[in-house]
Chain A
Amino acid sequence: MSRPASRPIAGALIGAAIAAGIWESFARSGLFSPALTPSVIDILRSLAGMIASGALAVHVLATLGRILIGLAGSCLVGVPLGMLMGRFRPVERFFLPLVSVLSPIPSLAWVPLFILWFGLGNAAAIGLVVYAAIFPLVLNTWTGVRSVNRLWLRAAEAMGADPRTLFLKVVLPGALPFIIAGFRQAFARGWIAVVGGEMIASTTRGLGFVIFDAKEYLNADVMMGSLLVIGLLGLGFERLVFQTIERRSVGRWGMVRTGRG
């Protein structure tokens, strides 16, 4: 049932080595000035500098804080809304067109308006995350509720479950595989929003700010290092948060195959 944990780690390391090799040959190819395509060593050195000075921790925490607050907000609204839409036709008829119209609008397109409404800084960035994350959550939860096995509902009703109990004890766990999928997408879209927001909304902390700030000084190594950090944070969340939640819930229950890697 459980594969040795070393195999996915080895797989990840090999993948990283290949990616580093491709970058290195591109950086040395002379297509761009070496100042614009720093070598892997330079990127790691500037990263180490940011870690040593403590600057990286400050920026990472600022960005993560915005994402997590935004994600929590969108979850509080998005999951209940998606469940109500999946369960009650009038709610679906009212909200689905609204969601369909708003969902394809890129969160970054809202930045100027959000700055006007919320001012420069944190509130605008968090608002962007909420906006970006809420639609994947609503749509996935809605789909999950509609895909709940009708036999579960019948069996529960036959055993005397009232609508509220049905909602909490059957529909919610039944839709969980989709809700978790929604969280994954929401998290990914949240990153796009927060980094974009930090670049434009004149915050003074956060990875997006670091990248934008480094551009002014042509510090390509800092930019690349920050991108790497964002990617690694994504990997960490996938491993530590999403896969753990999945393994202990829907994976344990045999509703999905547990992913590793």
Chain B
Amino acid sequence: MSHIDLSGIGYEYATADRAVVALRDVSFGVAESEFLCVVGRSGCGKSTLLNIVAGFLAPTKGEIRIGGRTVSGRGLDRGIVFQDFAQLFPWRTAQRNVEFGLEMKGLGRGERAQTARRFLELVNLESFAAAYPHELSGGMQQRVAIARALAYNPSVLLMDEPFAALDALTRDEMQSMLVHVWRETRKTVIYVTHNVAEAVYLADRIVVLTPHPGTLRAEIRVPLPRPRDVLSVEFLDYQKQVVSFLR
């Protein structure tokens, strides 16, 4: 059985003069500890889909089950990382940012600090625990955001183009770091991106969405061994395959 099950998800919203269908009948499952990438052009509804899974939006059709239970609304079983660096709280140090979710869970000060340190270590930022977000580079801020989303131990990690605003070199480093983090923590990941190479590098399986309305176009399994060689023929073949569905 899948860890996450989306069945018949639809989302409509009204503008001034008409109703817009952002998503239509999107169904797929994500296995326990699977890394799933949702790929599509801007406007295909992939961020909307992630916001629905996160519980920020309620689907107008269909339902979502996580661990067999129908979910509505937010929950501590899901951690979220956004694209915008500004998601961190500027008035909290890196460590105190990571501690936020633990505070909400009511953990004591000592335990919070210890857990936060452990997750900062996981993203190689233990020496920046006392730094404020504005003192960190974009890549470092996103690593803090990942540590923060993992620290309170959700079983699902939702990521909305977290590396899209980074330069190409930093993005490459972040991707391999994320694979490492994912292998250490064994979270079930849904990762939204418009970057095909990124999806092929990261994913066990890729779901392609096409716009107007957002519908599921294809599912592609990527059984390449990790770490993946981005210059290999197989890697390029998978990229071509994904791109062919985006056309």
Contacts and interface: CB of A to CB of B under 8 A. Distances in A.
A160 B78 CA distance: 10
Interface string B65-102: 00000000010101110101011111100000000110
Given A158-B54, A159-B104, A160-B76, A254 B82 contact: no
Given A149-B86, A252-B132, A254-B133, A156 B100 contact: yes
Contact of A253 (B76, B78, B134): B134
Interface string A66-89: 000000000000000000000000
Best-buried of B78, B79, B100 by chain A (most CB within 10 Å): B100
A151 B84 contact: yes
A156 B135 CA distance: 21
A254 B132 contact: yes
B89 A159 contact: no
A254 B74 CA distance: 30
A255 B80 contact: no
Interface residues of A, number: 23
B74 A157 contact: yes
B80 A165 contact: no
Say which size band chain B's interface belongs to.
20 to 34
A60 interface: no
Given A159-B100, A254-B132, A249 B87 contact: no
Given A158-B80, A159-B101, A161-B104, A253 B87 contact: no
A255 B104 CA distance: 24
A154 B149 CA distance: 12
Interface of B: 54-56, 74, 76, 78-80, 82, 84, 86-91, 100-101, 103-105, 132-135, 148-149, 152
18 contacts: A151-B84, A155-B88, A155-B148, A158-B80, A158-B149, A159-B76, A160-B74, A160-B101, A160-B105, A169-B100, A173-B89, A173-B91, A174-B91, A176-B91, A252-B132, A253-B90, A254-B90, A255-B91
Given A158-B56, A158-B79, A158-B149, 4 more contacts: A152-B89, A154-B87, A169-B100, A255-B134
